[in-house]
Amino acid sequence: MPDTPRVSLRRQLATVFEDEDPHNPVTQAFNLALTLLIVANVSCVILESVEPIRLRFAPAFDAFEQVATATFAVEYVLRVWASVDFHASDYCDPLWGRLRYVRSFFALVDLAAVLPAILGFLGAADLRVLRLLRLVRLLKLVRHSTTFGLLFAVLREEARSVAALLFVLLLTVVIAGSLMYMLENSEQPGVFSSIPAAMWWAIETLTTVGYGDMVPVTVAGRIVGGAVSIVGIGTLALFSGLITVGFLDQLKIYREQHPHPPKVEVAHGKKVRSHGEHHDDGAGLPATCPHCGGVLSLSARHRNEHGEPLDA
């Protein structure tokens, strides 16, 4: 495709949207402005729930919401338009590629960020519910977060192990809830009224929350409760250890793929690399001054102590 001004603009937008060059001032400014807009908009949604504040600043809240919705709508349209230049090969087709992008996770998040406000302006649903749905805009911050990307990578790599632990937890909840219903229903029919209610107690105990709303009173029930607590502590410790190890592995891979560029310092009018990357003296070791012990620059190593050049 010829590099027309329109295509060039689209490629530049794709570069900014995909964070291909995070050190680019344009990309940094865009991400910062978008983050501030999302935080400010979510803060307005939270403050609107306070009745005195909403009554006093209602016009300002409405005006800011209109500006934010228009901004997010323009961003969504531009992302769909520039998606054909994204690195993903599934989006290359001008029509079907854009349709595939519209069905992607982050595109649905972008759509959810503007759809509630648009429906509210059209009067299509309950305004209070739509105000709360605007909190979905917080998910837009996940796109630019390295931490969330690493966590998603951990969950993908450890999917089987995580699924096995969740299965163990589910099995423990069902068995413990059934046992507790059998043991406590006769003594506390209003508390352990059913197996689902007893399963809620099992969840509280496994997660070591212990709200205190459901407490076994029989001896057998307390024994089961103690066993469930021990199983819960062990399972959660295993789960946290699994996530921690996986996160450290992904962090190591990320650092290998995104090494920090060496710092460049100016010494004697010339650029010298830091991080210990000094020129050596031919023996693999950096040349040092015999008087002060400091590392000599390349030009100083070819002069003697009187400042005269050394023979080659």
pLDDT tens digits, one per residue of 97-106: 889 989 988 8
Lowest mean pLDDT among 8-22, 44-58, 95-109, 156-170: 8-22
Q: Say if residue 64's pLDDT is above 60.
A: yes
* pLDDT at 255 (0 to 100): 81
Do 38 and 137 belong to one domain? yes
Do 17 and 109 belong to one domain? yes
Q: Are 263 and 274 in contact (CB under 8 A)?
A: yes
Which has the higher per-residue pLDDT, 20 or 61?
61
Of the three residues 88, 113, 144, the one that is the final residue of a domain is 144
Query: What string of DSSP letters covers 80-101?
Result: HHHGGGSS-GGG-STTHHHHHH
Q: For residue 15, is it within any domain?
A: yes
Q: For residue 150, is it within any domain?
A: no
Do 83 and 39 belong to one domain? yes
Q: Say if residue 76's pLDDT is above 80.
A: yes
Q: For residues 230 and 218, what is the distance between their CA atoms, to the nearest angstrom? A: 19
Q: For residues 68 and 48, what is the distance between their CA atoms, to the nearest angstrom? A: 15
Do 30 and 133 belong to one domain? yes
Q: For residues 270 and 123, what is the distance between their CA atoms, to the nearest angstrom? A: 67
Which has the higher per-residue pLDDT, 9 or 142?
9
Q: For residue 13, is it within any domain?
A: yes
pTM comes to 0.60
Under the banding of pLDDT at 50, 70 and 90, the label for residue 74 is very high
* pLDDT at 292 (0 to 100): 54
Token pair in block for residue 246: 């996986």
Do 305 and 245 belong to one domain? no
Q: For residues 75 and 83, what is the distance between their CA atoms, to the nearest angstrom? A: 12
* pLDDT at 66 (0 to 100): 86
Of the three residues 114, 144, 174, the one that is the final residue of a domain is 144
Q: For residue 176, is it within any domain?
A: yes
Q: How many domains does the chain have?
A: 3
Do 179 and 272 belong to one domain? no
Do 200 and 274 belong to one domain? no
Q: For residues 101 and 158, what is the distance between their CA atoms, to the nearest angstrom? A: 26
Q: For residue 149, is it within any domain?
A: no
Q: Tell me the CA distances in angstroms from 3 to 6, 7, 10, 12, 184, one per residue in order.
A: 8, 6, 10, 12, 75
Q: For residue 65, is it within any domain?
A: yes
* pLDDT at 147 (0 to 100): 72
Do 49 and 129 belong to one domain? yes
Q: Tell me the CA distances in angstroms from 224 to 173, 205, 302, one per residue in order.
A: 12, 11, 81
Q: For residue 72, is it within any domain?
A: yes
Do 32 and 60 belong to one domain? yes
Do 78 and 171 belong to one domain? no
The CATH number linked to 45 is 1.20.120.350
Under the banding of pLDDT at 50, 70 and 90, the label for residue 283 is very low
Which has the higher per-residue pLDDT, 224 or 154?
224
* pLDDT at 290 (0 to 100): 53
**Parent domain of 106:** 5-144
The mean predicted confidence, pLDDT, of the chain is 78
Q: For residue 299, is it within any domain?
A: yes
Q: Say if residue 48's pLDDT is above 70.
A: yes
Q: Say if residue 306's pLDDT is above 60.
A: no
For 79, the 3-state DSSP assignment is helix
Which has the higher per-residue pLDDT, 256 or 47?
47
Return the closest-CA partner of residue 295 out of 5, 275, 38: 275
Q: Where are the alpha helices (DSSP H) in the chain?
A: 5-17, 25-48, 51-56, 58-82, 96-102, 105-122, 127-133, 146-157, 159-184, 195-206, 219-257
The CATH number linked to 222 is 1.10.287.70
Do 78 and 99 belong to one domain? yes
Return the closest-CA partner of residue 73 out of 104, 118, 43, 33: 118
Do 312 and 182 belong to one domain? no
Token pair in block for residue 197: 């209610």
Q: What is the DSSP letter of 62?
A: H
Of the three residues 84, 110, 144, the one that is the final residue of a domain is 144
Which has the higher per-residue pLDDT, 237 or 295?
237
